[in-house]
Structure 1
Amino acid sequence: MKRCFAVLLSLAMCLSVAFPASAQGNGGYTVGGTVTFGHYEQDNNLDNGQEPVDWIVLKVEGDKAFLISQYCLDAHAYHVDFVPMTWAKCTLRVWLNEVFYNVAFSAEEQARIQEVTVSNPDNPHYGTYGGDDTTDRVYLLSLAEAYEYFPDQTGRQGVPTAYAVARGGYLNETTGKTWWWLRSPGVRRIDACGVRADGRISGYGSRDVYRPSGTIRPVLWVALGT
């Protein structure tokens, strides 16, 4: 028992080095560190209220930071219908900027979230039309950004919350991992790219846009604060 506890403690210490629970500098925002911002249901116990959301700091630029949720927070189709689609027109974008934004963040937190212009380039492998640029507060990584911010395959593996799984999110019961949406189109406009449960990026986009099993790792820019 003591040996088992020692191993677990050692593992926890290693993880705390890789992703510190409270990043230092820049008001607590350091690239590669984690911060807490907003609240969202995660343990699927609706009686105990929403849990604080942990975010990984991807970039610090001036007085703002670019964040991605540490866990896959929910499950949602990219678009409600099986039709050609772009990020600019999809129902997932609406859900993130209207439903998730208002559920997860207080008025004070919303005031810190930056409204930004999001570029939506064509699929770099197949030339599939990426759609118009958008103005968003909450969105998803693109195909290129997933490679940029997560160059290591293992680091891209998504861990779903209990709530995301209860909402229909895919779960590999052996590894405990899931796949998560990217905003880029796949080989066809009825596909959207995603990160597989093993961390490989699906540039082909073998994820039909109406599949509800895709999980969500939102990204956003926030003004630096404590």
Structure 2
Amino acid sequence: MQIGENIIFDRYCWRVLDIQNDIALIITDNVIEHRAYHNKYKDTTWYDCETRNYLNGEFLNSFDESNKLRIIQVTNKNLDNPWYGTQAGNESQDRIFLLSLEEVCRYFGDSTELLYNRGNNRYWKKNDINNSKRLARLGDTCGCWWWWLRSPGRHNRLAAYVHGTDGCVGVNGNNVTNDRGGIRPALWLKL
């Protein structure tokens, strides 16, 4: 297994983002479904959002038992939004999660400088050479689709996301109840 390659795990195709010792960080290669980040329009963090409950409950339980044993529980430190200072809330214990702003900028090329040096930009730079690396299709038949990140947007009724048309990082966020948001689960897998 190598970083950047695709693997089949359980019923999905996954992209390998990182390998550390005997575990690998993987994310579904495609957006697997539409889902709202949260079921109510209210201040929400990853720790208490509906998508986190779904991924670590119903979705996790849909895996084959032997595969489920290979999914590692990790502590996610949820960092505040670096452009707006929006608080990200408590760290969380997750087996399946969405990537954070920091992770999507680090693992899809290295755009961390853009994340931490906003300057006068209101929106993510369209000329970021890594934008196309973040594009993801919706299933096997549709074009590219936007997908949620676990980080907050400019306030806690918005969650960060990746644009579907160009791969730009939506640091400002999208309405947490938008049920057209794409889900790309990520997890650490025992090799």
TM-score, structure 1 normalization: 0.74
For residues 79-127 of structure 1, give each alpha carbon's deviation from its aligned partner in whole angstroms, at most 9, with x where no partner exists.
0000000000000000001111112x11000110000001101001110
How far apart in 2 are the matches of 1:222 and 1:158?
21
For residues 1-28 of structure 1, give each alpha carbon's deviation from its aligned partner in whole angstroms, at most 9, with x where no partner exists.
xxxxxxxxxxxxxxxxxxxxxxxxxxxx
Runs of 4+ in structure 1 displaced over 2 angstroms? none
Give 1:18's aligned residue. none
Give 2:5's aligned residue. 33
Matches within 5 A, 1:1-226: 29-39=1-11, 53-103=12-62, 105-151=63-109, 152-161=130-139, 176-197=143-164, 198-205=166-173, 207-224=174-191
For residues 154-184 of structure 1, give each alpha carbon's deviation from its aligned partner in whole angstroms, at most 9, with x where no partner exists.
011110016xx9xxxxx6xxxx111000000
Q: In structure 1, the residue corresponding to 2:53 is in which secondary structure?
A: helix
C-alpha displacement of 1:34: 1.0
Q: In structure 2, the residue corresponding to 1:148 is in which secondary structure?
A: helix
For residues 177-226 of structure 1, give each alpha carbon's deviation from its aligned partner in whole angstroms, at most 9, with x where no partner exists.
11000000000100000000110000011x100110001110000100xx
Question: Aligned-pair RMSD on alpha carbons?
Answer: 1.1
Q: List gaps (5 residues or longer) in structure 1.
A: 1-28, 40-52, 166-170
Q: In structure 2, the residue corresponding to 1:211 is in which secondary structure?
A: coil
How far apart in 1 are the matches of 2:146 and 2:3?
24
How far apart in 2 are the matches of 1:122 and 1:149?
19
Q: In structure 1, the residue corresponding to 2:68 is in which secondary structure?
A: helix
For residues 68-89 of structure 1, give each alpha carbon's deviation from its aligned partner in whole angstroms, at most 9, with x where no partner exists.
1000001110000000000000
How far apart in 1 are the matches of 2:98 and 2:16?
14
Q: List gaps (5 residues or longer) in structure 2.
A: 110-129
TM-score, structure 2 normalization: 0.87
Between 146-155 and 87-96, the greater mean CA deviation after superposition: 146-155
